[in-house]
Chain A
Amino acid sequence: EPEVTQTPSHQVTQMGQEVILRCVPISNHLYFYWYRQILGQKVEFLVSFYNNEISEKSEIFDDQFSVERPDGSNFTLKIRSTKLEDSAMYFCASSVDWQRNEQFFGPGTRLTVL
């Protein structure tokens, strides 16, 4: 069964550095999402992406964040200047279409900002 994949599984970075988290959504899916989960807290929506543009974003997704689909398979989340509070598990998800709603999650990237 196809799955969403994410790399790396764990990223450690210094505060102020840029990080890029990578995701490969399921191949026939058209909608892509990033969520984050701070340790012990709920999963929070960051952004959704469709047709090469952002369709929704949350208040968390400020100017420090950006997303890109650089080619036909990858979907990336960039954090320009990481802060300590960006430390979290970041999940990518994808769905076939908007109406069907089911989102399939990747295994996550644990980001640790020192």
Chain B
Amino acid sequence: GENVEQHPSTLSVQEGDSAVIKCTYSDSASNYFPWYKQELGKRPQLIIDIRSNVGEKKDQRIAVTLNKTAKHFSLHITETQPEDSAVYFCAASKNTGNQFYFGTGTSLTVIP
């Protein structure tokens, strides 16, 4: 089955700096890679996703890059703000099924 690894487990950045979270996956058949943000006590919220037919996708301060050859994808948050503080999860899924395989999460703290 698929195995998704996520690093780092915790990340602290100064407000205004960039944050990068990296994930690797094992199954080359995976073709959909969402990122979820989970604030304390709240539901995971989809913030951005990417499919295997593109290498990069951007939405305002958030971007995701995908390297299919190396089987890794990354979340980039620029100009971080305190409200970006949360746990971020990456996931992977394949079009032969629709279950998500999640990473272990990254706790991001943005220091004002």
Contact = CB atoms under 8 A, between A and B. Distances in A.
Interface of A: 4, 31, 33, 35, 41-45, 48, 55-56, 58, 91, 95, 98-99, 101-108
Nearest to A6: B43
Interface stretch (B10-18, B54-62, B77-85, B99-107): B99-107
A101 B99 contact: no
B3 to A, nearest CB: 11
Interface of B: 32, 34, 36, 42-46, 49, 89, 91, 93, 95, 97-105
Contacts of A44: 102
A43 B45 CA distance: 13
Contact of B42 (A41, A58, A107): A107
A55 B98 contact: yes
Contact of B46 (A42, A48, A104): A104
A105 B102 CA distance: 14
A20 B105 CA distance: 28
Contacts, number: 56
Contacts of B44: 43, 91, 105
A104 B42 CA distance: 13
From B44, B93, B103, B104, residue with most partner A Cβ within 10 Å: B44
A42 B104 contact: yes
A35 B104 CA distance: 14
B36 A105 contact: yes
A23 to B, nearest CB: 12
Contact of B43 (A42, A101, A107): A107
B44 to A, nearest CB: 5
15 contacts: A33-B100, A41-B104, A42-B102, A42-B103, A56-B99, A91-B43, A95-B98, A101-B34, A101-B93, A102-B46, A102-B49, A103-B100, A105-B43, A105-B45, A107-B43
Contacts of A48: 97-99
Nearest to A43: B102
A101 B49 contact: yes
